[in-house]
Amino acid sequence: MSDHYFTSKPNTKKNEQEIEATLKGNKLIFTTDAGVFSKDRVDFGSQVMIEAIDESVFPNRNVLDVGCGYGPVGLSLGKANPNLKINMIDVNERAMDLAKKNAENNGIKNVSIFQSSVYDNVTKKDYGAVLSNPPIRAGKQTVHQIITDAKDHLVDGGVLIIVIQKKQGAPSAKKVMEETYGNVTRIGLDKGYWVLQSVK
């Protein structure tokens, strides 16, 4: 069976490369590798979400990036907002190592990166925001778990923001967010990618 980017220890032969992206007004250089999500460019959905996020709505400085990969979402927010305290998690050890390297290489010090399958190793319950470009290939159950279980880790008034393509399940994700939080707003839309936000 071939590896997926949501495997904890990818066996795919390493093949590191550098890519460049301007996110939130800052030019960032990311080292990526085989066996991680969107290795050749920053995923378009992630870009749409990053630019749609309005940090002024976060009720506090604590942010959780779920399924961070090599780091574009959490690191671009951290670079643009040095006052935020960002935790970044992923199940993929290779992605974790890259995210740590990318934080260091881009001079981003307000992030903490650790391994967790969904929220297994997340103990904090005081996040002002949970962000995710969820791993669609891991299946609908995982995607919906990221949405529903975020509620346990958000403060009142905290926001969950996800990006998902319409054809990959955005309408059903929107429904789950509405059912879980009692509200959902589409704050971004580009090329079929929906950026959805719910407030706890």
The β-bridge relationship of strands 85-90 and 111-115 is: parallel
Closest of 126, 131, 106 to residue 45, by C-alpha:
131
Of 11 and 196, more confident: 196
CB distance 39 to 17 below 8 Å: yes
Place of tokens 């378009």: 44
Q: How many domains does the chain have?
A: 1
How would you class 197 by CB atoms within 10 Å of its CB: exposed for 0-12, middle for 13-18, buried for 19 or more? buried
Q: Is residue 2 part of a domain?
A: no
**pTM of the predicted model, to two decimals?**
0.93
Cβ atoms of 162 and 173 within 8 Å: the answer is: yes
pLDDT tens-digit map of 66-112: 999 999 999 999 999 999 999 999 998 999 999 999 999 999 999 99
pLDDT at 138: 79
The CATH number for 160's domain is 3.40.50.150
77 domain residue, yes or no: yes
- The pLDDT confidence band at residue 2, using thresholds 50, 70 and 90, is very low
Considering the domain boundaries, does residue 88 fall inside one? yes
pLDDT, tens only, 124-182: 999 999 999 998 887 889 999 999 999 999 999 999 999 999 999 999 999 999 999 99
* Structural domain harbouring 86: 17-199
Query: What per-residue confidence (pLDDT) applies to 15?
Result: 78
Specify if 38 maps to a domain. yes
Residue 1 has pLDDT above 50, yes or no: no
Cα–Cα dist 91/153, whole Å: 18
Q: Is it the case that residue 14 has pLDDT exceeding 90?
A: no
Among 5-14, 36-45, 104-113, the range scoring the smallest mean pLDDT is 5-14
| Residue 6 domain-assigned (yes or no) | no
170 located within any domain? yes
DSSP, residue by residue, 9-59: S--SPP--EEEEEEETTEEEEEEE-TTSTT-SS--HHHHHHHHH--GGG-S
Would 36 be classed as within a structural domain? yes
Model confidence at 10: pLDDT above 60: no
CA distance 193 to 150: 21
In a domain, residue 187? The reply is: yes
Q: What is the H or E stretch that residue 169 is in? A: none
Asked whether residue 3 carries a pLDDT value surpassing 80, the answer given is: no
